[in-house]
Amino acid sequence: MKTDCPKRAAAWIKPWTSQSIGSKFQHRIFYALIRMGGIRLAYPLLYPVVFYYMACRPSVRERTRHYLSRRFIRKNALQRFADSCRISVALGKVLIDRASVGICGPDAIVLAFPDKARLFSLLAEERGVILMNAHVGGWQVILPGLGQLRRPVNMLLERHVRDVDLHYFEHGRLPMPFRTIDPRGFLGGTLEMMEALNRGEIVCVMGDRVFGSDKNVLGVDFLGQRAFFPFSAFKIASTSGAPVVVFFSHKAGPTRYVIEIPEVIRVPGGLGRSPEAFYPYVRRFVMALEAYTRMHPYQFFNFYDMWS
Amino acid sequence: MDLKTRIKSLIVEELRLEDLRPEEIPDDIPLFGDGLGLDSLDAVELVVLVQKHFGVKIKDMDEGRLAFQSINALEAFISERLKE
C-alpha cells in the first residue's frame, strides 16, 4: 500500500524508544510555567516548541507520519505538516496536563467516568480485571482516577533509564499509586500478572505496544493495513478467567477528560498455544481502537511504527 | 508412573508440544529459552497445570523462578509442597 512516508525519510527515522525528545532543562521550563500560572501559561509555549521540532527536526516529524499517513489521505505537503503539528500540540497538552496534576494536585483536571459502575460490577466477580489501554487521549493523565476503583492496580510498564519525563506522582513526590510490573523481568512479568489477577486486582496493559522482545504478536488490519498487536494479555485472560476491559480516554475540554469502556472482551479457556486462536479477541480490541481514531483522530499518540 | 514422567507427559499434552515425546525431554535442561523452548505464555499454562493436577500453587514469581528451572527443579518443588 502506498503511504506518504517516503523511503528516504524512513531510513533516518530512529527506532522508537520511550525516551523523551526534550532535555531535562526544557522540561523544567514547562514545569516552572505550570507552577507560576498553571496550564494557561504553559500551553502558549507549546506552539513555538512544536513548530520548531516539526520544521527543523524532520526525523521527529516523520515519527508522527506512521499513524497520520494511514489515518488521513493528504496530497498536500502543507496539510501533512499541519497534521503533524496538530497531533504534536495535542500530545504536548496531555503531557502538560499530566505535569499539572502532579504539581497542582488532582483537582487540576476533571475526570468523567460514566462507565464506572460497569467496571465495579466486573471487579465484583473477583477474577481480577485486565484494563487494556492504548496510547490515546490522556492515558497518563487519568492515572489518579484509578484510585477511585479501590483495588490495587498493577501496571505493565517499561521505562527508559534516561527518560527525563516525569509521571504526575513524581512531581508531587507522592507515593506511586500502582505497582509496576517490568515486562523485561522474569518470563515477561506474566507470573506477576497472574498472581495479581488471582488476588482479584487490576492489571493495566497497553494493547497497542509490543514490549521488548515479545514474540507473541498477531497481524491485524488497522487503518487499512496489517499492523502488529500483542496477544499475551488475551492468553492470560483465557487462563485466569479475568475479563479484558478496553479502557480509553479522551481530552474533552481544556481541563476535562472522559474515560470510556468501549468493549469488555471475555476470552474462553482452553484455547491452546496457537496465536490464531486469539485473533478474534485481538481484532475486537483493534476495532475499538480504530473506532476511537475515527472519533478522536488527533488523540492517537502511538508514534511507534506498528505496521512494520 | 513416577512424578517426573507424569510432569513430562502433562507438559507435552497440555502445552500441546507437537513432535515431542515425554521421554525425549531431558531432566536437566532449562524449560524456557534455549532449553525446551517454552515461552512466557507457556509459563502461565504451567502454573495452572501444576495447580490443577497436583494441587500445588505457585504463589509468586520467586517460587516460579525456582520451580521452572528444569524438570528436576519442578519435580523437587512439587514433591516438597506435597509433603507439606
Question: Which of A87, A36, A96 is closest to A64 using CA atoms?
Answer: A87
**What is the interface pTM, i.e. ipTM, of the complex?**
0.78
Average pLDDT rounded to a whole number, residues A246-268: 96
pLDDT of residue A231: 93
User: In chain B, which residue's Cα lies nearest the Cα of A214?
Assistant: B40
Q: Which three cell numbers stand for residue A129?
A: 480485571
Task: Verify whether the Cβ–Cβ distance A191 to B64 is below 8 Å.
Answer: yes
Average pLDDT rounded to a whole number, residues A123-146: 90
pLDDT of residue B19: 82
pLDDT at A157 over 90: no
Which amino acid makes up residue B4? K
- Position with higher pLDDT, A164 vs A80: A80
pLDDT at A211 over 90: no
Instruction: Compute the mean pLDDT over every residue in chain A, rounded to the nearest whole number.
Output: 86
Say how far apart CA A229 and CA A54 lie, in whole Å: 28
User: In chain B, which residue's Cα lies nearest the Cα of A217?
Assistant: B41
pLDDT of residue A214: 59
Map residue A204 onto helix, strand or coil: strand
Nearest CB among A187, A240, A273 relative to B43 is that of A187
Task: Verify whether the Cβ–Cβ distance A195 to B60 is below 8 Å.
Answer: yes
**Site of grid cell 501444576:** B50
Report domain extents, chain B.
3-83
pLDDT of residue A150: 86
**Site of grid cell 507470573:** A191
Nearest CB among B15, B16, B61 relative to A191 is that of B61
pLDDT of residue A3: 37
> pLDDT tens for residues B10-31?
999 988 887 889 999 999 999 9
Is the minimum CB–CB distance between A270 and chain B shorter than 8 Å?
Answer: no
Average pLDDT rounded to a whole number, residues A126-155: 89
Map residue A154 onto helix, strand or coil: strand
pLDDT of residue A287: 98
Give residue A262's Cα distance to chain centre. 15
Average pLDDT rounded to a whole number, residues A164-170: 62
Q: What is the pTM of this model?
A: 0.85
Map residue A111 onto helix, strand or coil: strand
Q: Give the highest mean pLDDT range of A116-125, A150-159, A177-186.
A: A116-125
pLDDT at A7 over 60: no
Contact assessment for residue A209 and residue A157, using Cβ atoms and an 8 Å cutoff = no
User: In chain A, which residue's Cα lies nearest the Cα of B49?
Assistant: A239
How much of chain B, in percent, has pLDDT values that exceed 90?
Answer: 49
Contact assessment for residue A37 and residue A99, using Cβ atoms and an 8 Å cutoff = no
**What Cα–Cα distance (Å) separates residue B24 from each residue in A7, A145, B75?**
49, 52, 17
Map residue A181 onto helix, strand or coil: strand
**Site of grid cell 505550570:** A34
Query: CB A199: neighbour CB atoms within 10 A?
Result: 12
Average pLDDT rounded to a whole number, residues A35-48: 93
Q: Chain A residues with CB inside 8 Å of B67's CB? A: none
Q: Confidence class of residue A156 from pLDDT cuts 50, 70 and 90? A: confident
- Position with higher pLDDT, A269 vs A17: A269
Q: Confidence class of residue A64 from pLDDT cuts 50, 70 and 90? A: very high
Task: Verify whether the Cβ–Cβ distance A194 to B47 is below 8 Å.
Answer: yes
Say how far apart CA A35 and CA A47 lie, in whole Å: 19
**Does the B3-83 domain belong in CATH 3.40.50.2300?**
no
Average pLDDT rounded to a whole number, residues A145-168: 74
pLDDT at B6 over 50: yes
pLDDT of residue A292: 97
pLDDT at A176 over 90: no
User: In chain A, which residue's Cα lies nearest the Cα of B48?
Assistant: A239
Query: Which residues are CB-contacts of A134 (< 8 A; sequence separation ≥ 6)?
Result: A206, A207, A208, A248, A289, A292, A300, A302
- Position with higher pLDDT, A19 vs A62: A62
Nearest CB among B15, B39, B43 relative to A191 is that of B43
Query: Which residues are CB-contacts of B1 (< 8 A; sequence separation ≥ 6)?
Result: B9
The answer to which of A54-63, A176-185, B44-53 has the lowest mean pLDDT is A176-185
